[in-house]
Structure 1
Amino acid sequence: MLGTLMNVGTVIAGSTIGLLVHSKLPKTIITIAFQGIGLFTLTIGFTMAMKTQNFLLMVLSIVLGGIIGQALNLEAYIERLSHFLKVKVKSKNEKFTEGFISAFLLFCMGSMTIMGAIEEGLGNRPNLYFAKSVLDLFSSAALATSFGVGVLFSVIPLFIYQGGLTLLAGLLHNVLTEPIVTELTAVGGLILVGLGLTILEIKEIKILNMLPALLISVILSYLFL
């Protein structure tokens, strides 16, 4: 779990830096930074999504996953957690929940998260998580500049997700073959495209309700690839 703890620490540090800068920036600068993050998210998402080797599998994963997530209404649970944290810290930031969710998704959807979990889960030195920590240090600072304190609290689901994935990878490392990781990463990229569209206010998409698509992609890849 050393890599995950390091990652959490760098996100806290980066978010703190971003919050200090955020308080001194005019609204126009925050707005353009916000739009830049939206464009960046779209670019990352498209890059990851295009790695798929099976578009049919991707479509089935995102549709079935979205249906399951909508039926379970996962977004409502995450928003309740975000609202609970917002009340506890007495934040008045209107973008608290958006920053909380956006940061969590950006930090957790990439291939480095999955491959890093496998690396550390097998007991190896978490070099990928160390590299990811450096990237997330700068990303969290940029995100906090635009979204505010919600980014800082994204370390809670980040720790749960990334730590849990590391433990799971240690148990299922024989299952997570390269084709499965590729499709999992591609579906994660498609989710990030949806996040980018939401950030840019082009179309509001219930991104959190699509998270089961990640699990569906693993199952379908295991069965058919």
Structure 2
Amino acid sequence: MVLLGTIVNGLCIILGTLLGKVLHRIPEKMKTTVMHGIGLAVVILGIQMGLKSNQFLIVIFSLVLGAVLGEWWDLDGKLNKLGLWIERKIGAKGEGSIAKGFVTATLIFVIGAMAIIGSLDSGLRQDHRVLYTKSIIDGFTSLVLATTLGIGVLFSAVPVMLYQGSIALFATQIEKWVPTDLMDAFIADMTSTGGLMILAIGLNLLGITTIRVANLLPGILVTAGLVTCVYYWSNMVHFVQTFL
């Protein structure tokens, strides 16, 4: 079943959030320290991912162009408006709490190599091990986030499942028209680009910055375009040199 890993991931987020709400009486100081611990771990993960690319210029251009597109489209504002709309619909108290939980959790669970690589493995080989691993991590993360950011974390399961499920379904056809070398190059550069976004999320969780990470998300699409252009340009140059 192509979508099995994605479904398990969504269920783990929901279960973790519900457990987090049950354990909401955790002392405030403990919550703060745990959140700082998660923030530090996310920072280190982002740094590790950010160093994966061998063509860092692509990563830089992806972030710059992605930021321009993200600010133009105001993705961060739209995500926050969606969170506030959910908050109004369920009649929650504490303006902005659900929106913050929804946006923060969505960014943490969606951005990163595991979401894309795991979804590709599910679609290409029906191998769900990467997404199972991500599900365990996301489950524990959502539990802790829910104790601090509230029930909004639960709603992040929806975009996570839509995002990963779409990639998995797309991947069932991808081998027919995307060369393996191109896919490998994209995954490496996408990992670095996503890693820097993960780093920004960690800094936000630590309260060091207030980076609008959602407005950097188009950088992933820019990465795909740049990697494709570089790949075919290199092949064309190689072809011309062969016959000169």
Q: TM-score range by the shorter chain?
A: over 0.9
Deviations 1:151-200 (A, max 9, x none): 11111111121111212222334256111101111111111111122222
Point out the structure with max Rg over C-alpha: 2
**Aligned residue type for 1:109:** I
1:175-186 paired onto structure 2 within 5 Å: 177-186=183-192
1:1-225 paired onto structure 2 within 5 Å: 1-22=3-24, 24-93=25-94, 94-173=96-175, 174=178, 177-225=183-231
The 1:146–1:33 alpha-carbon spacing in structure 2 relative to 1, beyond 3 Å, is farther
**Aligned residue type for 1:85:** I
Contact 1:37-1:143 within 8 A present in 2 as well? no
Identity score, percent: 33
Q: Aligned partners of 1:42 and 1:95: how far apart in 2?
A: 23
Give me the TM-score of the superposition, normalised by structure 2: 0.86
Q: How far is the alpha carbon of 1:60 from its aligned partner?
A: 0.2
Q: Aligned partners of 1:189 and 1:116: how far apart in 2?
A: 16
**Aligned residue type for 2:9:** N
Contact 2:83-2:100 within 8 A present in 1 as well? no
**Aligned residue type for 1:43:** I
Q: How far is the alpha carbon of 1:123 from its aligned partner?
A: 5.0
Q: Aligned partners of 1:223 and 1:128: how far apart in 2?
A: 29
Give me the TM-score of the superposition, normalised by structure 1: 0.93
Contact 1:109-1:185 within 8 A present in 2 as well? no
Name structure 2 gaps, 5 residues minimum.
232-244
Contact 1:44-1:192 within 8 A present in 2 as well? yes
Contact 1:45-1:193 within 8 A present in 2 as well? yes
Q: Aligned partners of 1:209 and 1:128: how far apart in 2?
A: 27
Q: Aligned partners of 1:149 and 1:216: how far apart in 2?
A: 33
Number of residue pairs matched? 224
**Aligned residue type for 2:135:** S
SS in 2 for 1:122: helix
**Aligned residue type for 1:122:** L
SS in 2 for 1:177: helix
Q: Aligned partners of 2:40 and 2:98: how far apart in 1?
A: 20
